Structure 1
Amino acid sequence: MTHDHDLVLRPTEAQKAAALAPPPGRTGGDLVVETLRGLGATTVFGLPGQHALALFDAVGRSDLRLVGLRTENNAGFAADAYGRMTGEAVPLLLSTGPGALMALPALAEAAAASAPVLAISSQVPVAGLGGGRRGHLHELRDQSASFRDVVKSVHSVRTPSQIPSVIAEAWESALSAPHGPVFVEIPADVLQAETVIPQVTGVDATPHELAPRPELTALAAHWLENATRPVIIAGGGVVRSDAAGKLKQLAERLNAPVVTTFGGKGAFPWAHPLSLQSWLEDRHMTDFLEDADVLLVVGSGLGELSSNYHTFFPTGRVVQIEADLGKLESNHAGLGIHADARLALQALLETVSERADPTAPERVRLVLADIAARLAGQDLAQEQQLLTSIRTALPARSPSFWDMTVLSYWAWSAFDPKHPNTMHSAQGAGGLGYAFPAALGACVAEPDTPVLAVSGDGGAMYSVAELATARQHDLDVTWLIVDDGGYGILREYGCTTGTQLAGPDFVALAESFGVPASTTAPESLTADLRKALATPGPSVLVLPATLRMFAPTHL
């Protein structure tokens, strides 16, 4: 009798020949590159450093495309966006110590947004590991420890023969639900040493599927189809698992209103009769959600922003579908279903019966009208008009990336993304400088699509070096910088200390990089954006404006 575990994959004749006659001069760095190519990687991000030179030399000998940015953190943001756009694991190549540590904020954002980034860092030579006392350049006592609380998993290589297996293991981790960044470290001497190990020709890293338990979806379906006022909160997990179509089917079958979280923008059609849009920072919406007798939360942990700063307290039953076990029932007790959003929604669609409710669209219309009336009394026409101008100018399929700035806070609630996976922001971890380098990563992922980045002047200063990257690679990005002379969103919180900033002439600065730039105004923004987006290559628009947030309704 033959058992599945007895089956062994036999090498092909081509694989035998390659194993017996490897090209001369191959190193551990080549083993990394061969493994990445075998797993399907075509593009890598990063920048070289002394300990990682053997890895970058190997990339140069390969057909991998290297997109080199000017700082490691920006390279991490670019890789994050590439992963969000493609759903693929994205190699981010780093050097030891300071180079690796520079990427931590970007990896924290990738972790919060479940972006599959495969960070591969060099490390000091094997003999110097573990003590932090050998005096190696860039030496840390425990480099991996700096990443362990940030990334999804940490993987260490100590010999060349471990490289293919460790990278495949990390790749699988990054792409198994919930997606996330992972960290691999390889000592410099392991990367540099010539190897007799055959070329990597057979490597597999199939992600694990996370299916729901049937007894849980059966109970959830029973509650939903018998509910009087069901409501759905759709989070980023719906977008990441490509489940927007299944969400729409379920909502229509149940006649259940849907609100999307800020990370779930685009998970449900903005103008649909059941769409509550994204007004989560509004007490009218909070009251509406609290009134639901069954609340289905899909792909969200109901964190600070999604719960109106933890002022949301559901009164009915809660069903939470979440791939991240740590977020399951972490904020609200309920029926927790540990599963990928797409698989769980499919299971509900196969189980739930149609529920008639002709009143649902009218209830949606009324709560949105209450929100509009509240805004109308706050003299915020300029802020709303700017979002309208951007939406009018931006092609429906073009991705947009938003930094932590006043206009982005508006966009979380009020911007129509048109399609799933087309609007992204740094609201996961909340770090500055995300928008522009992330937009560059999206340009690499979708080279025939114009991409928009929106920053404030404060956040823009984190990213100005990447104007050189945009020009060098001729990336089709338009960067809108809203210049209010400092950290405007912090001033909106009432802070005046350290929030007023001296800044450059952004137009002249961009032009010094060879990037076309001009100043725009609210009344000309639509036309200026259309022109910039329609012109191939990078461009910058600077909008001098001081914007206000809508009055907080969570206090």
Structure 2
Amino acid sequence: MSRNGGDVVVETLTALGVSHVFGIPGQHALGLFDAIRRSDLRFVSSRVENNSAFGADGYARATGEVGVLFLSTGPGALTALGALQEAYASGVPLLVITSQVPRDGLGLRRGMLHQLDDQQRSAANVTKSTAVVRHAAEIPSALADAWSLARSAPAGPTWVEIPQDVLLEPVQLPPVTSVVTAVAGRPPRDELVAAAAELLDGARRPVILAGGGVRRSPGGPEALVALAERLDAPVVSTVGGKGAIAFDHPLSAASWIEDRHTTDLLADADVLLAVGTAMGEVTSNYFTFAPRGRLVHVDAEPRVLEANHPALAIHADAAPALRAIAERVRRREPGDGARIAADLRRSVEERLAGQDLGTELGLLRDLRRSVPSSAHTFWDMTIAGYWAWSAWDPQDGEFHSAQGAGGLGFAYPAAIAAAMGSGTRTFAVSGDGGAMYSIAELATARQHDADVTWLIVDDGGYGILREYMTDAFGQATATELARPDFVALAGSFGVPAHAATLEDVGDVVADTFTTPGPAVVVLPAVLRMFSLT
């Protein structure tokens, strides 16, 4: 059989070092899927395109590689956009390759199946770039450029469309064995580094706010710790930055960002160095944060700089910026930094102790004891997940959530893909409402024998929305849900499932880490949030 455009795609991905591809077959994309059959690439088929995108996202987060996604035209491509918003907001590198109608239908309304007026424009709001390939000879360069841009800071998804006829037509190109990539660096400007160092050298109460950009930047966590120690500055982690500095480091003030004590610490700093964060809604404790000192704001995404507060704005990737500043500032003797961090954490604990939150605190403690310290954990938009934003110590593992865009259904498909990519068992947590977004992926987990434990906290509805609406209006509307018997449903997919209680959930979860393959744990429990003030 002669080679075609689909083969050129697969050969290019192989040359880029890609090993896994996520997606769902579709009519216009069949050339891609037939070509992958003739390759060494491993294809992971989900059951819903949005979950395929979440899977590619989770794979990228767990492995540090670019997640690759195959989508079909029209409904398939559009269904993935919600998950791509999460990757775009959180800076996760994805390469999305989607099919298109044949070239003679582009831009027209010929009544072709799946045809959109402008599919490319639909993706523009949730990707770093979009492109349409019109000849097979363009494929290697188009994919290499998109791959490079996806990895370049700020990382994110890129989108390449290839019409059906380009994928199917025979090609005369030699097999692709090499590609030219150019991942752009983003070093800081020297005069800005000098100005930041001068401010920090003159600070009496410096504080560092470490965001997700620190974790994503190669060498970012190490550079963060080195600078914090040089400045003797306490470090607060955002949700995305959780784990950039170990919680047991003396200078770690943990990640209780939805807390007035943490908000006050950040606001009272005479110089606050915020790195790799937009200081957005959650990080700012719902925009109650108002800096009283000077702010130095470092980010690879220029649009977030000074978006919420005036600052010395440094457009740079986190790691090179942190290293450059560390080379300029004076080393301080250990002083109050560790005490300030410890005092903050103690104040948070005392505040929580007065709120009758024994159930929630006990659940988080039990889960933390049950899940291996090195595990990747994935948290959906659910009350347990909101608790984890602040309370979960990632220890030697990695913490992942959908906090960037806030869409439901992230945790389970992301954890499945992460388990397949990392080769280690992962842990996902969803509420019963969010679980229904990804329930079909029980089939994916079983088909691929993914080593993933899925905890479903079943409170009978959209628990956090119930709480919000009750607080705001005195009663909730449309938050209560009919749902399946999750234990029986998982069993029907051939996935072992276990009913748990608040008293034994830790032991049940721990047991799942001793056996291979997927497992589900269902916990009927009504949790409530801690007070944010």
**Does the alignment reach a TM-score above 0.5?**
yes
Greater CA drift, 201-210 or 408-417 = 201-210
| Aligned-partner SS, 2:126 | coil
| Aligned-partner SS, 1:105 | helix
Matching residue's letter, 2:428: A
**Equivalent residue number for residue 278 of structure 1:** 255
**Equivalent residue number for residue 20 of structure 1:** none
**Equivalent residue number for residue 524 of structure 1:** 504
Q: Does 1:541 align with 2:521?
A: yes
Post-superposition offset of 1:249: 1.2
Q: Does 1:493 align with 2:481?
A: no
221, 228, 241: which one aligns with 2:217: 241
Write out aligned runs for 1:391-402 (5 A).
391-402=368-379
Write out aligned runs for 1:254-333 (5 A).
254-333=231-310
| Aligned-partner SS, 2:513 | helix
Post-superposition offset of 1:356: 3.0
**Equivalent residue number for residue 116 of structure 1:** 93
Q: Quick check: 2:141–2:180 contact (8 Å CA) kept in 1?
A: no
| Identical residues among aligned pairs (%) | 57
Q: Does 1:370 align with 2:350?
A: no
Question: For residues 257 and 395 of structure 1, what CA distance do their matches in structure 2 show?
Answer: 27
Write out aligned runs for 1:132-531 (5 A).
133-242=109-218, 243-356=220-333, 358-419=335-396, 422-447=398-423, 449-494=424-469, 496-531=476-511
Question: For residues 88 and 43 of structure 1, what CA distance do their matches in structure 2 show?
Answer: 10
Deviation per residue, 1:403-434 (Å, 9 max, x gap): 000011001011101136x1100111000000
| Aligned-partner SS, 2:142 | helix
Question: For residues 413 and 255 of structure 1, what CA distance do their matches in structure 2 show?
Answer: 23
| Aligned-partner SS, 1:522 | coil
Post-superposition offset of 1:359: 2.2
Q: Quick check: 2:145–2:182 contact (8 Å CA) kept in 1?
A: no
Deviation per residue, 1:499-525 (Å, 9 max, x gap): 000110000000100000010111112
| Aligned-partner SS, 2:521 | strand
| Aligned-partner SS, 1:523 | coil
Post-superposition offset of 1:309: 0.8
Aligned residues: 527
| Aligned-partner SS, 1:296 | strand
Question: What root-mean-square deviation, in Å, do the aligned CA atoms of Structure 1 and Structure 2 show?
Answer: 1.1
**Equivalent residue number for residue 473 of structure 2:** none
Deviation per residue, 1:125-164 (Å, 9 max, x gap): 1000112x10000000000000001111111101111111
Post-superposition offset of 1:357: 5.1
Q: Quick check: 1:267–1:419 contact (8 Å CA) kept in 2?
A: no
Q: Quick check: 2:296–2:311 contact (8 Å CA) kept in 1?
A: yes
Write out aligned runs for 1:28-107 (5 A).
28-107=5-84
Question: For residues 292 and 96 of structure 2, what CA distance do their matches in structure 1 show?
Answer: 43
TM-score, normalised with respect to structure 1:
0.94
Question: For residues 297 and 155 of structure 1, what CA distance do their matches in structure 2 show?
Answer: 34
Q: Quick check: 2:66–2:94 contact (8 Å CA) kept in 1?
A: yes
| Aligned-partner SS, 1:455 | strand
Could you list the runs of 5+ residues in structure 1 that have no partner in the other structure? Answer: 1-23
Deviation per residue, 1:368-416 (Å, 9 max, x gap): 2222121111110110111111110111110000000001100101110
